[in-house]
């Protein structure tokens, strides 16, 4: 939802009216909270290992296609932007059947199933990274849209109770969280001499919130967009998965230890992480090696080397694409 909301904000600044059509996940709360109208479809991801679930997903997609056509007609929609998830499939197809142009966005280094299927029908496909086999007029490398950097470091640190002289490590694994990172961080970083701001995600929070922690370890379930921006601004080093959030890390010029999710489609998180590592902005730690002692050693080595940390931060900032949301918004409006 981060890139979709960033583009929506850029479109609204140019006078466009924006309506979201989404599913039953995080968008149901995030979109209205950001001030946008939200229309919901009932959909489920295609389970390629369970035929019965796959059939149910296809049935729901067919019904969603009919509903999406109705919503597009009633809203007098001029152009559709697909955010890359499975919800975008029926909506983009509905746009195509109604001769409404649509633009796709891809946040990772590998096109997901929905985008691969829809790309031949799209007016444009906006890529976060240069992607093998995706060349020509239809494809544009824009970077991944993120919200503008707005959090002041001193204000952000005060909001989390972090003193100016303290070092802070931010740990997160997405809205659901990463069990590997959560366990390794609690086992390896609690008791360290620096501050740890650890966002567990909603899945592991019930099991982890009662864990005994030292006074420098701040454990949170979730941070909204503004608070997450403050957390990035307040931190000196980030420990995270290597999904699309690497562009948010880069936007704030933060060095990172990245632990790619090993089951990601086409192993795209490893490719994402390698992009930052090759630039000198990150260290990549394999999921199977992400234990408490190993993570503590990697974090301690970086936190203790200010010159290395500074160089990685500058390399991270050089990867940022602060104009990505505006670039995608321009392409969307040009498709009308």
Residues 110, 226, single domain; the answer is no
For 233-253, the pLDDT digits (tens) are 999 999 999 988 899 999 999
**CA atoms of 306 and 224, how far apart (whole Å):** 30
What pLDDT, on a 0 to 100 scale, did the predictor assign at position 120?
93
What pLDDT, on a 0 to 100 scale, did the predictor assign at position 113?
83
Residues 187, 136, single domain; the answer is no
Mean pLDDT in residue range 210-225 = 91
Residues 136, 16, single domain; the answer is yes
**What is the C-alpha radius of gyration for the chain, rounded to an integer number of angstroms?**
20
Going by C-alpha positions, the residue among 8, 47, 12 that lies closest to residue 27 is 8
Mean pLDDT in residue range 186-205 = 94
Mean pLDDT in residue range 165-179 = 90
Give the domain extent around 65: 2-144+322-334
Mean pLDDT in residue range 67-85 = 91
What pLDDT, on a 0 to 100 scale, did the predictor assign at position 148?
86
Going by C-alpha positions, the residue among 302, 317, 316 that lies closest to residue 194 is 302
What pLDDT, on a 0 to 100 scale, did the predictor assign at position 22?
87
Residues 133, 53, single domain; the answer is yes
pLDDT band at 218 (very low <50, low <70, confident <90, very high): very high
Place of tokens 């494809």: 139
For 49-74, the pLDDT digits (tens) are 777 777 887 788 888 899 999 999 99
Residues 103, 48, single domain; the answer is yes
Residues 196, 310, single domain; the answer is yes
Q: Judge contact between 276 and 250, C-beta under 8 A.
A: yes
Residues 125, 178, single domain; the answer is no
1-15, 123-137, 188-202: range with lowest mean pLDDT: 123-137
DSSP assignment letter at 221: S
- C-beta neighbour count of 33 within 10 angstroms: 12
54-58, 95-99, 304-308, 314-318: range with lowest mean pLDDT: 54-58
- Residue with the bigger pLDDT between 53 and 77: it is 77
**Residue 131 scores a pLDDT above 90:** no
What pLDDT, on a 0 to 100 scale, did the predictor assign at position 64?
86
**CA atoms of 126 and 103, how far apart (whole Å):** 8
Residues 137, 190, single domain; the answer is no
pTM: 0.85
Residues 130, 158, single domain; the answer is no
Q: What CATH number is attached to the domain comprising 289? A: 3.40.50.2000
pLDDT band at 300 (very low <50, low <70, confident <90, very high): very high
- C-beta neighbour count of 54 within 10 angstroms: 15
CA distances, 32 to each of 26, 28, 38, 69, 232 (Å): 11, 7, 6, 22, 24
Residues 280, 176, single domain; the answer is yes
For 145-161, the pLDDT digits (tens) are 998 888 899 999 999 99
**CA atoms of 170 and 239, how far apart (whole Å):** 6
Q: Which two tokens stand for residue 326?
A: 């505006």
Q: Compute φ and ψ for 165, nearest 5 degrees.
A: -90, -10
Q: What is the mean pLDDT of the chain?
A: 91
Q: Is the dihedral of CA 273, 173, 128, 114 positive or negative?
A: positive
Residues 110, 248, single domain; the answer is no
Q: Which two tokens stand for residue 329?
A: 């918004």
- Among 101-115, 201-215, 308-322, top mean pLDDT goes to 308-322
Percent with pLDDT over 90 in the chain: 68
List of residues 6+ apart from 293 with CB closer than 8 A: 187, 188
**CA atoms of 216 and 197, how far apart (whole Å):** 9
Percent with pLDDT over 70 in the chain: 99
Residues 171, 257, single domain; the answer is yes
Q: How many domains does the chain have?
A: 2
Mean pLDDT in residue range 100-114 = 88
**Residue 314 scores a pLDDT above 80:** yes
- Residue with the bigger pLDDT between 318 and 56: it is 318
3-state secondary structure 38-72: EEECCCCCCCCCCHHHHHHHHHHHHHHHHHHHHHH
């Amino acid at each position: 939802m981060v890139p979709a909301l960033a583009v929506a904000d850029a479109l609204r600044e140019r006078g466009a009216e924006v309506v979201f059509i989404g599913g039953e996940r995080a968008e149901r709360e995030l979109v209205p909270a950001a001030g946008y109208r939200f229309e919901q479809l009932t959909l489920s991801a295609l389970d390629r290992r369970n035929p019965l679930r796959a059939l149910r997903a296809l049935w729901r997609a067919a019904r969603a296609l009919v509903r999406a056509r109705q919503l597009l007609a009633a809203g007098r929609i001029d152009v559709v932007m697909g955010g890359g998830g499975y919800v975008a499939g029926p909506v983009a197809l509905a746009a195509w059947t109604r001769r409404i142009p649509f633009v796709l966005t891809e946040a990772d280094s590998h096109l997901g199933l929905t985008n691969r299927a829809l790309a031949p029908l799209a007016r444009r496909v906006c890529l976060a990274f240069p992607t093998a086999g995706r060349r020509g007029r239809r494809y544009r490398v824009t970077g991944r849209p993120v919200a503008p950097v707005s959090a002041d470091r001193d204000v952000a640190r005060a909001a989390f109770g972090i003193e100016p002289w303290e070092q802070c490590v931010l740990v997160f694994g997405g809205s659901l969280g990463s069990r590997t990172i959560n366990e390794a961080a609690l086992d390896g970083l609690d008791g360290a001499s620096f501050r740890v701001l650890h966002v567990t995600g909603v899945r592991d929070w019930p099991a982890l919130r009662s864990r005994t922690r030292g006074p420098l370890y701040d454990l949170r379930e979730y941070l909204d967009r503004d608070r997450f921006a403050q957390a990035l601004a307040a931190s000196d080093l980030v420990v995270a998965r290597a999904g699309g959030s690497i562009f948010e890390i880069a936007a704030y010029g933060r060095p990172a230890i990245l632990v790619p999710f090993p089951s990601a489609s086409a192993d795209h998180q490893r490719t994402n992480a390698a992009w930052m590592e090759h630039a000198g902005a990150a260290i990549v730690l394999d999921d199977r090696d992400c234990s408490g002692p190993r993570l503590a050693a990697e974090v301690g080595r970086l936190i203790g080397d200010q010159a290395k940390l500074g160089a990685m931060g500058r390399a991270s900032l050089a990867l940022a694409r602060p104009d990505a949301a505006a670039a995608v918004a321009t392409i969307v409006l040009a498709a009308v």
